[in-house]
Amino acid sequence: MKVLLSEEEIPKKWYNILPDLPESLPPPLDKDGNPVKKEDLEVVFAKELIRQEMSDERWIRIPEEVREVYRLWRPTPLFRAVRLERYLKTPARIYYKFESISPAGSHKPNTAVAQAYYNMKEGIERLTTETGAGQWGSALAFGCSMFNLDATIYMVKVSYMQKPFRRILMELWGAEVYPSPSEKTEFGRKILEKDPENPGSLGIAISEAIEDAVTHENTKYTLGSVLNHVLLHQTIIGLEARRQFEEIDDYPDLIVGCIGGGSSFSGLFWPFYYDRVHRNVNVEFLAVEPTACPSVTKGVYTYDHGDTARMTPLLKMHTLGHDFIPPPIHAGGLRYHGMAPTLCLLVKKGIVNARAYNQVEVFDAASIFAKTEGHIPAPEPAHAIKAVIDEAIKCRENGEEKSILFLLCGHGHFDMKAYQDYLEGKLLPYEYPSEEVERSIRRLKELYPWIEF
Amino acid sequence: MDRILKFLNCYGIDAIEDFERWSRGVKIGFVVNPIAGMGGRVGLKGTDGKYDLALKLGAKPVSNERAFEFLRNLRLNVEIYTCSGEMGERVARMAGYDPNVIYKTNDMTTSEDTKLAVERMRNLDLIVFVGGDGTARDVCEVVGDETPVIGVPSGVKMYSGVFGLNPRACAEVVRFFVRGLTHLELREVVDVDESSLSDDRIVLKIFGYLNVPVVSNFVQGVKRRYGGNLENLMRNFLNIFDRDGVYIFGPGGTVSHIVRSLGFEKTVTGVDVYVKGEFVKDVSERELLSIVDRYDAWIVITPIGGQGFIFGRGNLQISPDVLRRVERSRIIVVSTVDKLRDIDFLRVDTGDEELDRDLEGEIEVLTDVGLLRFFVKA
């Protein structure tokens, strides 16, 4: 069963959570404790985006030109996962908002299109950004192509080599894609001189993209997650979903989403948070992350006045797919180091709950979903699916008729390598140092089943 | 640029770390203990204070070979700070680096030289030393857990958890370190408690901790002790033992127990030999060579607990030349299952890469529960 809206029903405003937060977010402070000034940011970001970043307005108008591009795939359907419910024999009603049908295959174009538009309006001719596996890069390439902007994308070198398909997608939309570290920037050249075989990192790619923007006229930088204005653009998801629930006269009791930088989940739950604050409805929020990168469930939250949100990446060494390193987890989008401060604050206040799963149980859930609902989820939203299945089973045990909503933020068509590893039994819960260890233990077990390991 | 990266840092995006690291360049302190490991092949339990004796017994310096192996595989354009001559400069130049010499010494170096050199490396990003447990102790005494340190294994004993598996693995760890992909771990610096050597076991004493950049599978753990059913293991060994055979027994408590069941008393840290009823204690590489030339000898060896090394740690007498003269199938690895549990692979680091590769692959381990198959890895 799916709930569809007409094109006229594409929301006309985004929802900004800042005025409704339980306490105001302190202004961003740099490493040394100095507040970051607007003027600092104007060097790399479009003015309107900075205005949105710091805006107190609750509702921000969506330009008609942006809505027009949204119409290429929006409004996205809201599905009721009847076959999954039946499979789980749960009295719970499971709904999912389906963002996979965007041209880039995920929720990312919601903000890419908006960012490209505002930059175009301000006379910018070229946008730069970084990308790891290519999700954000392809969304921005698409966004730029909609408004005739050039796009330069610095792609972490290992991904550039190992995941050519996303790169080709970006090039099809007209973007220039460089493996980072590259010869294009002074910073990149400096690294290559010292370490010619450097496989790159997100940090290096970010630095290159920013340097490119700073050193060239009419060129700006963009970011695909974490910042308030990015999350703001994503609220179109939740606003549509809320409208769709009205259509079927239901309302979610629990909203679940995966978190990397936090933009997809925020886009889904913010409008319902608005209801919770202003209409006193009862709705719970659950954020799900990988055990391999448990920024919120295990990270230290120190966002307070005079301090900054600093979630130490616990497993930095796992972020690159080097030969000798244990295989990185496959949900690349959730390995992001950053985290939206609004989300951190809401977790700290107990308004959003967080939970972590390892990738093996997550892929088990994804495979159940694929077999019942048909759609192949990306590894990132599969984390949310795992949590939903657990909750639905709980409902079966307690006889609860809960209404559960989650975000299927992207399809897994570019993640076949991950699914292949899963099907071949090569995926490991990340804790294991290497699959070979597992293999040798398995062999020992076969030989001597009575030995306890 | 800086301001923007600082801004992003507020959101937990730590691009600034990469930016600062690569903008400023990485400084590495490099110190070679030129005599480390010399005593090994001639049957000494360490070279500290026994340099003349080692020389007299025919020992050759090995650590600069290991140092070269490390530098050759590093393939990074980092700034190297080192000591003059044999303590680093010569080998660094050989490997194509233009090092900054921050400590000068004559060729007869002592542990005091190591300490003085390391003292001047405190403020660098990383210190790499080439040596064994003794050198690790010297480094630890000076820097403690302040400056990150990694050891290139080239001693007689390397029971501490501060060494890479071999020079190549060390180079790989440093490459990861420079790229910001390692995490630092406090690792124990241990050495054999000399007073315990008269007993039938090796007692390790902790001398301190070093902050070691760790990449799993590249850095060895610290030696551990294990229990397990030694009686069963001894019985299992007796079943395959041939009284008229020739056996080379490596060091370690497990092997000592087995030898005792044959009616002999073994040196715990030395390599002993059984030749058709005769038992010879504490033999050197030269003596081993004459034995393996004359007989089809068996080598009985136990992995170092927690590390998994079977060759290249604590038994340098069983040198590449000796090993090449013994068929791989005549190597008997003995261990309790208890000890195997903490070992991912059996490790070899003989100093001869080609031999290491030949030794790789599946091997059977005689345990208290029978034969188990395990993997040997370089």
Collapsed DSSP state (helix, strand, coil) of residue A156: strand
How far is Cα of residue B189 from the mean position of the Cα atoms in its chain? 12
Cβ contact B80:B99 at 8 Å: yes
Task: Judge whether residue A309 has pLDDT over 60.
Answer: no
Domain covering B2-214: architecture = 3-Layer(aba) Sandwich (3.40)
Beta-carbon separation of A194 and B77 below 8 A: yes
pLDDT of residue B137: 95
Tell me the Ramachandran region of residue A280: left when phi exceeds 0, alpha when psi lies from -120 to 50, beta otherwise: left
B270-279 per-position pLDDT tens digit: 899 999 989 9
> What pLDDT band is residue B44 in, cutting at 50, 70 and 90?
confident
Q: Domains (ranges, CATH) in chain A?
A: 1-106+225-453 (3.40.50.1100), 109-223 (3.40.50.1100)
pLDDT (average), residues A98-112:
97
Task: Judge whether residue B258 has pLDDT over 50.
Answer: yes
Of the two residues B112 and B193, the one the predictor is more confident about is: B112
- CA pair distance A10, A7, nearest whole angstrom: 6
pLDDT of residue B196: 63
Quick one: CA torsion of A384, A389, A393, A399, rounded to 10 degrees?
A: 70
Q: Does B178 touch chain A (CB under 8 A)?
A: yes
Cβ contact A266:A340 at 8 Å: yes
Nearest CA in chain A to B373: A444
A433-448 per-position pLDDT tens digit: 344 444 444 444 444 3
Beta-carbon separation of B5 and A202 below 8 A: no
Beta-carbon separation of A440 and B375 below 8 A: yes
> What pLDDT band is residue A316 in, cutting at 50, 70 and 90?
very low
How far is Cα of residue B65 from the mean position of the Cα atoms in its chain? 14
**Mean model confidence pLDDT for chain A:** 85
- For chain B, the structural domain boundaries read 2-214, 230-377
pLDDT (average), residues A402-408:
98
Where is mean pLDDT largest: A107-116, A438-447, B192-201, B316-325? A107-116
With vertex at residue A261, the alpha carbon angle to CA A259 and CA A263, rounded to the nearest 5 degrees, is 80
ipTM: 0.76
pLDDT of residue A32: 63
Exposure string over A352-389, b if 16+ CB within 10 A, otherwise e? bbbbbbbbbbbbbbbbbbbebbebbbbbbbbbbbbbbb
pLDDT of residue A292: 66
pLDDT (average), residues A352-370:
93
pLDDT of residue A429: 63
Beta-carbon separation of B15 and A309 below 8 A: no
Task: Judge whether residue A148 has pLDDT over 80.
Answer: yes
A254-298 per-position pLDDT tens digit: 999 999 888 999 999 999 999 999 999 999 999 998 876 656 665
Q: How does strand B204-214 pair with strand B246-249?
A: unpaired
Which one of A28, A316, A325 has the shortest CB-CB distance to B10? A28
Task: Judge whether residue A199 has pLDDT over 90.
Answer: no
Which one of B14, B181, B216 has the shortest CB-CB distance to A337? B14
Mutate to test the interface with A, among B18, B177, B338 (most CBs of A within 10 A): B18
Mutate to test the interface with B, among A34, A38, A49, A204 (most CBs of B within 10 A): A204
Beta-carbon separation of A211 and B76 below 8 A: no
> What pLDDT band is residue A328 in, cutting at 50, 70 and 90?
very low
Strands of A52-168, DSSP E: 59-61, 78-80, 93-98, 126-131, 150-156
Q: Does B24 touch chain A (CB under 8 A)?
A: no
Could you tell me which of B111, B166, B79 has the C-alpha nearest to residue B351?
Answer: B166
With vertex at residue A17, the alpha carbon angle to CA A92 and CA A58, rounded to the nearest 5 degrees, is 120
Mutate to test the interface with A, among B4, B75, B170, B347 (most CBs of A within 10 A): B4
Q: Does B3 touch chain A (CB under 8 A)?
A: yes
Model pTM score = 0.78
Of the two residues A260 and A204, the one the predictor is more confident about is: A204
With vertex at residue B68, the alpha carbon angle to CA B62 and CA B71, rounded to the nearest 5 degrees, is 145
A20-55 per-position pLDDT tens digit: 999 887 666 665 667 777 888 889 999 999 999 989
pLDDT of residue A60: 98
Please count the residue pairs, one from chain A and one from chain B, whose beta carbons lie less than 8 angstroms apart. 154
Lowest mean pLDDT among A425-439, B12-26, B345-359: A425-439
A171 to chain B, closest Cα gap in Å:
25
